[in-house]
Amino acid sequence: SLGPTFGIKGGAAGGGYAQVVPMEDINLHFTGDIHAVSTAHNLLAAMLDNHIAQGNSLNIDPKRIVLRRVMDMNDRQLRNIVIGLGGLGDGYVREAGFDISVASEIMAILCLANDLDDLKDRVKRIIVAYNRAGEPVTAGQLKAEGAVAALLKDALKPNLVQTLEQTPTFIHGGPFANIAHGCNSVMATKMALKLGDYVVTEAGFGADLGAEKFIDIKCRYSGLQPDAVVIVATVRALKSHGGVAKADLNQENLEALAKGVPNLLKHVENVTQNFGLPAVVALNRFPTDTEAELDFIQAECKKLGVNVALSEVWAQGGAGGIELAKEVLKLIENGENNFRFAYDVNTGIKDKIQAIATKIYGADGVDFIGSSNQDIENIERIGYRDLPVCMAKTQYSLSDDSKKIGRPKNFRISIRSVRVSAGAGFVVALTGDIMTMPGLPKVPAAENIDVDSTGRISGLF
């Protein structure tokens, strides 16, 4: 996504000798998949507003339009806007807003669809608004699924790239794991399983976000079942969870590490105890890590029966990952696999949210505030009680408060609103102050990106 590329996080192609290439293309326009998703989504939005302006035969209530527009950029100014200003020929005036493209339901559909026919069926089910009788209005009723699918015909095909060492890699789909379901496409994963002996796939952020959604959403719909899990950690991140300022992370600090390691251990517990999967911790080594710090993490993970493998792929490429690869193979062959979901999908929406909050985050409970109670009542009324839940939550904390670092205790999760993504097949619960359209930081990465007269780009990371 161009949002983090020009924002604060940077690109998504790796670093050092552990990269996929071509890095500049992947981090910018690549094959145009995200642009296709944005265009398809905004076509649907345009058809919705056009339908109302052209007579509104579906009796859509302009006050109950739930489809927002999208763009692939961080822009807080577009979160809440007014559209339709001008004269009689400029549409009707209403409040609206933008989400970032990777939070689009169409992006989720692209990643969960099995083929083009499945994609069209899912698009038809997207709820775009409600009519004046309170019943949902879908993209299928607007006759939009064919045109949307035509725009996504090529984007549905997985993209094949390679690492610096020529290992084949599929990059396909980009739903963020904090505000969306955080997994690449089902088609890419299944294609990789047909072509390789072993397939490694990423679920964004931690076991509270990407891994939970990978298991409870992607695996539930696709029938996939992981053989082993790699939990990636760094000494620096764990010291940060122990309260160390960014400027001081290069200094050895075992006291802070002791405060931060419980965060990692909670992710280990989630994978091994809540999801029943064998796991190894991959410790990405930085030059400033000390042996004492590395030994401390290894000893703490051993207490939970999980090994730590040092990963030095940034500096050494594949050679720096041999120890980790051997540990993964050992888990696949000998690890105890009791794969299970975090909740029964046939329970109520509130029950599923409670299960995720208490079991996966470690919360004491959930507070349903704002419009969430009314939202859930409506979603269950129209027949979507049994969908899995996709939690939208900060990635910086196990809680919904980014300032609660480490492994927080005695906290509750606040659900402020709930949306149904009927086409994708899940319910989105928005926690805390999470935004589906991010903003740029004080000093965006865009300020340091340039291109010279030969077309060579600098500043991407």
145-152 vs 116-125: helix crossing angle, rounded to 10: 140
Q: Are strands 98-100 and 69-71 parallel, antiparallel or unpaired?
A: parallel
End-to-end, the C-alpha distance of the chain in Å comes to 13
φ/ψ of 416, rounded to 5, equals -95, -25
The pLDDT of residue 446: 96
Does position 74 have pLDDT exceeding 90, yes or no?
yes
Range among 8-17, 146-155, 174-183 rated most confident: 146-155
Virtual CA dihedral for 398, 328, 278, 235, nearest 10 degrees?
Answer: -30
Q: Residue 285: which residues within 8 A CB-CB, separation 6 or more?
A: 235, 294, 310, 311, 312, 314, 315
pLDDT at position 220: 98
Distance (Å, whole) CA 368 – CA 379 = 15
User: What pLDDT shows up at residue 11?
Assistant: 87
Q: Specify which residues 431 forms β-bridges with.
A: 415
CA torsion through residues 87, 91, 93, 97, sign: negative
Query: Hey, how many other C-beta atoms are within 10 angstroms of the C-beta on 369?
Result: 11
* Residue 147, pLDDT score: 98
Which tokens go with 125?
């089910």
Cα dist from 433 to 350, 423, 429, 437, whole Å: 19, 25, 12, 12
Is residue 107 within 8 A of residue 101, CB to CB? The reply is yes
| Average pLDDT of the residues in 147-164 | 98
Segment 319-331, tens digit of pLDDT: 999 999 999 999 9
In angstroms, rounded to a whole number, what is the distance separating the alpha carbons of residues 188 and 159?
A: 8
pLDDT digits 0-9 by tens, 342-376: 999 999 999 999 999 999 999 999 999 999 999 99
349-430 CATH fold:
Formyltetrahydrofolate synthetase; domain 3 (3.10.410)
| Cβ neighbours of 395 (radius 10 Å) | 18
Residue 447 pLDDT: 97
Residue extents of the structural domains in the chain: 33-152, 162-334, 349-430
CA torsion 300-304-309-314 (nearest 10°) is -70
Q: What is the pLDDT of residues 185-231, one digit of tens each?
A: 999 999 999 999 999 999 989 899 999 999 999 999 999 999 999 99
Q: Taking 90 as the threshold, does the pLDDT of residue 9 lie above it?
A: no
Q: Residues 293-317: pLDDT tens digits?
A: 999 999 999 998 899 999 999 999 9
Mean pLDDT value of segment 227-253: 97
User: How many angstroms separate the CA atoms of 279 and 272, rounded?
Assistant: 7
What gap in Å lies between CA 201 and CA 66, rounded to an integer?
32
Rounded alpha-carbon distances, angstroms, from residue 333 to 25, 29, 169, 197? 38, 40, 24, 13
What is the full DSSP assignment across 26-38? HHTTTTSHHHHHH
Q: What share of the chain in percent tops pLDDT 70?
A: 100
> Is residue 181 within 8 Å of 220, Cβ to Cβ?
no
Q: What per-residue confidence (pLDDT) applies to 10?
A: 85
State mean pLDDT over 157-183: 95
Residue 268 pLDDT grade (very low, low, confident, very high; cuts 50, 70, 90): very high
**Residue 357 DSSP symbol:** I
- 49 has pLDDT over 90: yes
Please write the tens of the pLDDT for every residue from 11-43: 889 999 999 999 999 999 999 999 999 999 999
**Per-residue pLDDT tens digits for 82-98:** 999 999 899 999 999 99
Per-residue model confidence (pLDDT) at position 410: 98
Say what the pLDDT of residue 414 is. Answer: 98
Residue type, 197: D
Residue (of 249, 257, 326, 327) closest to 297 by Cα position: 257
pLDDT on residue 381: 98
Architecture of domain 33-152: 2-Layer Sandwich (3.30)
What pLDDT digit, counting tens, does each position of 411-425 carry?
999 999 999 999 999
Q: Give the residue among 342, 426, 377, 367 at the shortest CA–CA distance from 127.
A: 426
Q: Collapse the DSSP code of 352 into the 3-class scheme (helix H, G, I; strand E, B; otherwise coil) and give the result.
A: helix
Contact 230, 263 (CB under 8 A): no
Please give the angle made by the CA atoms of 29, 435 and 206, to the nearest 5 degrees. Answer: 75
Mean pLDDT, the chain, rounded, equals 96
CATH number of 162-334: 3.40.50.300
Predicted TM-score (pTM) of this structure: 0.95
Residue 233 confidence class, pLDDT cut points 50, 70, 90: very high
The total number of residues shown for the chain amounts to 461
Let me know: does 451 contact 18? Beta carbons within 8 Å.
no
pLDDT of residue 290: 96
